[in-house]
Amino acid sequence: METRVKNGPVEPPAARWYHFTFRFAGPVAMAMGGLALIGGLLGIRILTSVIPGSATMKPNTALCFIVSGLSLWLLRLPAGRIVEYNRPGHARLGQICALFVAVFGLLTLAEHFLHLNLGIDQRLLRDTFTHAQSSVPGRMSIATPSGFCVLGASLFFLGGKVPFDAIASQLLALIVLIDAGIGCISYTYASHSVSAVSLYNTMAAPTAILFVFLGFGALFARPDRGLISAITSEYGGGQMARHILPWAVTLPFLIGWLRLKGEQARLYGAEFGLALFAVSDIVIFTVLVWIGAWSLNARTFELARSNHRFRFLADTMPQLIWTAKPDGNIDYTNQRWFDYTGMTLKQSKDWVLEVRGAPGRSSELD
């Protein structure tokens, strides 16, 4: 399978699809944030809520999404390639944008928890869709600035070059996805205007969707590094994970929705619905584990066949063939080696140690 190299390590073919995916997360966030600002400016509610009658995206939220999308777009290339493809200042500018988003979210959280009014809620654009009697006009709900704090920190670490930075960025991106996932599920499971979770009762639907876009963008921005490399790997484990994960994420969500609709239709009670959901999850994950085991067994069998063919070919060749580890220790020899030297594999290893002068070891040929 073809791979390509660009002044760095080999890039697996699957990684190109992740680059293609996260490359559009930033522009999508900037475009949707811009449309929300236009909707607030022109009084077009549907551009700020998408779902009629639901919560609207606040102007400050739209601004943070625009800056977050810009930050991800500036950091869209791996850290080792930014200097080659972009100007050196792009990475720093992306981190500055990320800090702006994190600080803005932190200030909004301070307004909520410390009962402050810093005047930032209506500074950009007056929110005409939120009634002042129900909440502070223009102020994000608690879940939204929390998401921006974590997202900004994730994007900031994304611009780092230390291996730990990629891990920290991906962990924070997972938290953003969890936060966004609760918001999306709240709109799917509950009514369009009321969320089942109080912290998400004023998070707009496009806000939750954009958090999902940017969370995935930050998560897969470095597909060959950190925790996500286990999934993006071209080895058997990575391929199995890519086949199983979509089903593991979507099927419980779908079954939970079907269970809720059955309860609302009075087909069964809450207790039976909970039991049905639990049994369905057990069956789903059992099947997924079986599929994973079957896939790994098939790949292991193919690997064993390939190894057997290699040994058969090497043993029939008249040349001496051996392989060694980086420290020089021999870990394989073909049959011609044994016939020529009269050594066993263990004797060959001890002979190498004897030649290298390893202490405490002696050759069995003495």
> Among residues 257, 245, 250, which one has the least CA distance to residue 219?
245
| CB-CB contact of 38 with 66 (8 Å) | no
Could you tell me how many residues make up the chain?
366
With left for phi above 0 and alpha for psi between -120 and 50, is residue 266 left, alpha or beta? left
| CB-CB contact of 184 with 212 (8 Å) | yes
pLDDT of residue 360: 44
With left for phi above 0 and alpha for psi between -120 and 50, is residue 53 left, alpha or beta? left
pLDDT means per 10 residues, the chain with 366 residues, are 40 57 82 88 81 78 92 72 51 90 92 82 66 62 90 91 87 91 79 46 80 90 82 78 84 86 85 87 87 79 76 75 70 73 66 52 41
Neighbours of 102 (CB within 10 A): 22
| Sequence-ordered alpha helix ranges (H) in the chain | 13-23, 25-42, 46-49, 59-74, 82-85, 89-113, 143-158, 163-189, 205-219, 229-232, 236-264, 270-316, 335-341, 345-356
Longest dimension (CA), the chain: 95
What are the tokens at 359? Answer: 């202490």
In angstroms, the CA 149 to CA 168 distance is: 14
Neighbours of 183 (CB within 10 A): 26
> Which class for 285: exposed (0-12), middle (13-18), buried (19 or more C-beta within 10 A)?
middle
How far from chain centre, in Å, is Cα 172?
Answer: 10
pLDDT of residue 182: 83
In angstroms, the CA 345 to CA 12 distance is: 35
Angle at 248 between CA 242 and CA 253, to 5 degrees: 135
pLDDT in tens, 249-293: 888 888 888 888 888 888 888 888 888 888 988 898 888 888 888
pLDDT of residue 104: 92
